[in-house]
Homo-oligomer: A and B are copies of this chain.
């Protein structure tokens, strides 16, 4: 029972929470909810303006609860609510809980959109549903006007109003707020709306009622910087955009950028400036896609790998380039947009998720937050595949993380016909087991290449067939293996040339002609070197995974999530044929989308999620692949395609695997051969590092 209520007072039941109690007749539904601990949102503070607190009364006799709820148990809409209905519209069955008063027993449903801690479900982001726990909240208050009798400061009276109306205490205000406080109070007739960050810091103020507050979740990748512009009040994603990371001109991969910093005086400042400018451009692009001004952006949440993390924050990443790969900080960093040179609201805050270890960054923290392996009952493997693969393995008991230097092959780089995933790139490939003829699909065109009208469709799309992207490379190599063109040790078998003109001699090795453009463009081929590059990359990935499995004493995993721009496009079957990931029920391998970016989004909208990930990263066991002797062993063993010593029912249900090699050591080259082929790298990792 709410404080001060008696047994004769109206009884109210809120759904879905099921909370119930009695409140004095005449209490507003919102006050009743608050007194019973029911979570209803509000910005305007019972002023009938914001419309965030709408509820749906349910009428009838609820035998289970012993309560009869009738329409006249709620007072008719008053002037405030009628004004709101006139101006904004409101379905007939909805009421503004801040103005509707209880006259008798009632059952009140609080729809999800009226809850502060509502679930956010984003199918488009392949993210789990999560609960909002807003870090930035808007509160409208009426501030007592100054008078000569009590010559207090305006700030003190603002804080007083926030305590009185919203129970906020121990507040601080940015100097930028204090500066405009008096003119804002005057403009709003002493009614203002403030943005309070973390329940503590007043970071923005507007005259009158104001319900616009936006945030941006950002994934700073080595190649692309992607962001979502989010309404911090509703949790809605309003726009998404990506910009290229201009640091690419200093080096394609991270280690070459670190080399650049080491070799050029002021190089760190150059790289920091470049990435900050890009971030600034991203915010501009997001604002341009909407009617939102950058001054309305109050919060950024950022993930990135350790090197991007350091460069963005202006920290020299050099120590990350050599053992012991020490991070400057492995705690979450809270700063301001101004401090990192990004133009947003003057009070805008920045939350950078914690890095985990020298090679396992805030992006991995984001992946964990999005995929929640630490809450899983089953052994879950999450890999975020890029130039480096971030690997997380574990369940609710233990969680391990590592980074493995897969190199850029998975992204189409250093592959003879490779290209980034863009319209015109081959992304799906099938090879006929008998004729060895290929068919494929390119990004931007729906039809397969063997369908009638494919040429016209490509022509209509204006894309051409320009190369093979990462997922296409995985598929073509796996298909070539399944078709017997490539042996288990990764050699394009010259003997097959007798069966098809597509396998052609190429110096001392053979290559496979995938496509000859009719427009006379360069042929798209798979060379022996391409296969080797994929072998190197997938062996590095697998060796990292295997290392974590060793640590846990496991030979199998129960679930696999493939995250990242590339990871999400990989066909699980082909990935498993090739041995990118350990064997697992194919149904339990799924794409996780840009999980790192989703993690940033969750952190943007939830303080609880921030506390959660800060706790989780502390207990993650960090494995440094670069210095684990077993990594090297696993790496060498994992070169074979597929590296399987036992029958694999998961795959064999779906595809016919070629006969296994007679012995486990039939790997085509000796380990030393691979090592010699690596160019010198900054990082002292013993494995392929490009």
Which A positions have Cβ atoms within 8 angstroms of B?
Answer: 146-148, 151-156, 173, 175, 178-179, 181-183, 313-316, 318-319, 323-331, 333, 335, 339, 355, 357-358, 622, 624, 627
A313 near B179 (CB under 8 angstroms)? Answer: yes
B316 near A151 (CB under 8 angstroms)? Answer: no
Given A151-B326, A182-B316, 18 more A-B residue pairs with CB atoms under 8 Å apart are A146-B326, A147-B324, A148-B325, A148-B624, A148-B627, A151-B330, A152-B330, A153-B355, A154-B319, A154-B326, A155-B330, A155-B331, A156-B331, A175-B339, A178-B313, A179-B313, A181-B315, A182-B318
Q: Which residues of the other chain, B, contact A315 by a CB distance below 8 angstroms? A: 178-179, 181-182
- Which of B148, B183, B326, B333 sits near A324, CB closer than 8 Å? B148
Chain A to chain B contacts (Cβ below 8 Å), 22 pairs: A148-B324, A151-B326, A151-B327, A151-B330, A151-B358, A152-B327, A153-B329, A153-B330, A153-B331, A154-B319, A154-B328, A155-B328, A155-B329, A156-B330, A156-B331, A178-B315, A178-B329, A179-B313, A179-B314, A179-B315, A179-B316, A182-B315
Smallest beta-carbon distance A583→chain B, Å: 30
Smallest beta-carbon distance A56→chain B, Å: 43
7 A-B pairs with least C-beta separation: A153-B330, A146-B326, A155-B329, A151-B357, A153-B327, A153-B329, A146-B324
Number of copies: 2
Q: Which residues of the other chain, B, contact A148 by a CB distance below 8 angstroms? A: 323-325, 624, 627
> Which B residue sits closest to A148, measured CB to CB?
B324
- Which of B156, B328, B339 sits near A329, CB closer than 8 Å? B156
A335 near B155 (CB under 8 angstroms)? Answer: no
Bound-state Cα–Cα, A358 to B154, Å: 11
> Which B residue sits closest to A628, measured CB to CB?
B148
Smallest beta-carbon distance A403→chain B, Å: 11
Smallest beta-carbon distance A319→chain B, Å: 5
Bound-state Cα–Cα, A319 to B183, Å: 9
Q: Which residues of the other chain, B, contact A179 by a CB distance below 8 angstroms? A: 313-316, 328
Q: Which residues of the other chain, B, contact A627 by a CB distance below 8 angstroms? A: 148
Q: Which residues of the other chain, B, contact A319 by a CB distance below 8 angstroms? A: 146, 154, 182
> Which B residue sits closest to A325, measured CB to CB?
B151
Q: Which residues of the other chain, B, contact A153 by a CB distance below 8 angstroms? A: 326-331, 355
Smallest beta-carbon distance A401→chain B, Å: 10
> Which B residue sits closest to A326, measured CB to CB?
B146
> Which B residue sits closest to A186, measured CB to CB?
B319
> Which B residue sits closest to A319, measured CB to CB?
B182
B622 near A151 (CB under 8 angstroms)? Answer: yes
Q: Which residues of the other chain, B, contact A624 by a CB distance below 8 angstroms? A: 148, 151
Smallest beta-carbon distance A157→chain B, Å: 8
Q: Which residues of the other chain, B, contact A147 by a CB distance below 8 angstroms? A: 324
Bound-state Cα–Cα, A154 to B181, Å: 40
B326 near A178 (CB under 8 angstroms)? Answer: no
Q: Which residues of the other chain, B, contact A323 by a CB distance below 8 angstroms? A: 148
Smallest beta-carbon distance A276→chain B, Å: 13
Q: Which residues of the other chain, B, contact A154 by a CB distance below 8 angstroms? A: 319, 326-329
Do A328 and B181 form a contact, CB below 8 Å, given A151-B624, A323-B148, A622-B151? yes
Residue among A179, A339, A622 facing the most chain B CB atoms (10 A cut-off) = A179
Do A183 and B146 form a contact, CB below 8 Å, given A153-B328, A333-B175? no
> Which B residue sits closest to A175, measured CB to CB?
B335
Q: Which residues of the other chain, B, contact A183 by a CB distance below 8 angstroms? A: 316
Bound-state Cα–Cα, A335 to B174, Å: 9
Bound-state Cα–Cα, A318 to B173, Å: 20
A326 near B175 (CB under 8 angstroms)? Answer: no
Bound-state Cα–Cα, A329 to B331, Å: 34
Bound-state Cα–Cα, A121 to B444, Å: 80
Bound-state Cα–Cα, A660 to B641, Å: 117
Smallest beta-carbon distance A349→chain B, Å: 12
Smallest beta-carbon distance A428→chain B, Å: 39
Bound-state Cα–Cα, A208 to B627, Å: 31
> Which B residue sits closest to A355, measured CB to CB?
B153
> Which B residue sits closest to A360, measured CB to CB?
B151
Bound-state Cα–Cα, A622 to B181, Å: 22
Q: Which residues of the other chain, B, contact A330 by a CB distance below 8 angstroms? A: 151-153, 155-156
> Which B residue sits closest to A352, measured CB to CB?
B175
> Which B residue sits closest to A335, measured CB to CB?
B175
> Which B residue sits closest to A153, measured CB to CB?
B330
Do A182 and B328 form a contact, CB below 8 Å, given A148-B323, A151-B622? yes
Smallest beta-carbon distance A148→chain B, Å: 5
Bound-state Cα–Cα, A183 to B624, Å: 23
Q: Which residues of the other chain, B, contact A325 by a CB distance below 8 angstroms? A: 146, 148, 151
B151 near A324 (CB under 8 angstroms)? Answer: yes
Do A328 and B151 form a contact, CB below 8 Å, given A183-B316, A316-B183? no
> Which B residue sits closest to A314, measured CB to CB?
B179
Q: Which residues of the other chain, B, contact A182 by a CB distance below 8 angstroms? A: 315-316, 318-319, 326, 328
> Which B residue sits closest to A156, measured CB to CB?
B330
Bound-state Cα–Cα, A314 to B324, Å: 47
Residue among A148, A333, A358 facing the most chain B CB atoms (10 A cut-off) = A148
Smallest beta-carbon distance A71→chain B, Å: 48
Bound-state Cα–Cα, A331 to B622, Å: 46
Bound-state Cα–Cα, A327 to B313, Å: 37
Q: Which residues of the other chain, B, contact A333 by a CB distance below 8 angstroms? A: 175, 178
Q: Which residues of the other chain, B, contact A327 by a CB distance below 8 angstroms? A: 151-154
